[in-house]
Amino acid sequence: PAEVTLGDREMHLSGLDLRLAGASLTADASMAGGQVSLDAALRDLAMATLADFGGPPMTGDVGARLQMSGTVGDPRATLDLTITDLRAADPTFDDLPPARVTAAANLASRRLRLDVRGEGVTDKPLVLAAELPVVMQLEPFQFDLPDGPVTGRLDAEIQLARIANIAGLDDDRLEGLLSAALTVGGRVTAPQLDGTVDLADGIYENGTTGTVLHNLTLRARARQQRLTIEELSANDGGTGRLTGQGFVDIVPAASFPTELRLVLTSARLVQTNEADATISGNLAVNGSAAAANLAGALTVDRADIQLPDQVGPSVPTIEVQEVGFPDGGAPRRPASTGPPFDLRLDVVVNLPGRVF
């Protein structure tokens, strides 16, 4: 049920009560005489219901309340969001503890304050707080992030295995404790960072290539507009090593200029039934989030490749028609509208007679 009244430059909504799969959305709102009023509440929304509409494969319960008042040109608004018993839907991850996320946003006088707290995903609560300028008006609608002072902080200890499980990395395994203690100041167009990001006792494995990196260590320090990677190191479980250094400039207008350098020393990076390869050399990435150059020289110290005696049987292609869509095909996914990433390669690979 709901009652909607539309008039000359005014709108009123009262008694809205929507129900879906046990969830409810109630709301009352009005916009007239240059003033706005809104009170909406969402209760008992199951994350599994969102998955049916293309949301992430998660379970849990969502509740939220949005309130708005003031003028249509500069409204005040508060949003409170709570997600309880948050889990990955895949039963493989049932042994992971459930998470709880609470978030509060407050908009007033064209300043937005955010407070987010996460429990369960990390060993200690993840705390994020930020305040930044926001221009919002309802008639005509506008939402903009102008330049202005910004403040914020992030304190977190994250077990990467839990994040990797939620992200669904398929053939990739990631473990280790990532610690971050960062503060942000300055302006939107020129943020100033201070703090550290550390990873200790990390493990990375790729099931497709057989790449295994143990004792993965990362130490990064943020100062002003630069995040400097002071140490990046790992071993292949034996004598092979990977080390690196670099930086990322937090300059959005320049698409985050980046410079990274990696050194491989007899690193056994391919270990499969078909191939086993050890590689040395160096790689350098210079550029930004928009375009970059990858240059370097790699030497295959040794590679053993097993050619199969025979290939598998040919598999016929079966024509499948999806039902339930007007053209008989699967639903079309929207094409990516972002610009492509331009990666220019200048890598020399040397194979000095030790490929068998």
Amino acid (1-letter code) at residue 282:
N
Lowest mean pLDDT: which of 206-210, 345-349, 351-355? 206-210
Question: What are phi and psi for residue 325, nearest 5 degrees?
Answer: -125, 145
Q: What percentage of the chain's residues is helix, strand, coil (to nearest 5)?
A: 5, 65, 30
Q: Please say whether the beta carbons of 11 and 28 come within 8 A.
A: no
- Structure confidence by residue, pLDDT tens digits, 31-44: 998 899 999 999 99
- Structure confidence by residue, pLDDT tens digits, 157-204: 887 876 665 555 667 888 888 899 999 999 988 889 999 999 988 999
- Structure confidence by residue, pLDDT tens digits, 3-22: 999 988 889 999 999 998 88
Helix, strand or coil for residue 92?
helix
pTM assigned to the model: 0.71
DSSP 296-326: EEEEEEEEEE---SSPPPP-PPPP---SSST
* Tokens representing residue 267 in the block: 């690193």
Range list of H helices, 31-126: 47-52
Q: For residue 97, give the DSSP letter.
A: P
- Reply yes or no on whether the pLDDT at 308 is more than 70: yes
For the segment 318-340, the average pLDDT, to the nearest whole number, is 66
Q: Please say whether the beta carbons of 137 and 146 come within 8 A.
A: no
**CA-based nearest residue to 300, from 321, 274, 281, 272:** 281
For the segment 108-114, the average pLDDT, to the nearest whole number, is 94
> Computed from CA positions of residues 259, 152, 162, 60, in that sequence, does the dihedral angle turn out positive or negative?
negative
Helix, strand or coil for residue 336?
coil
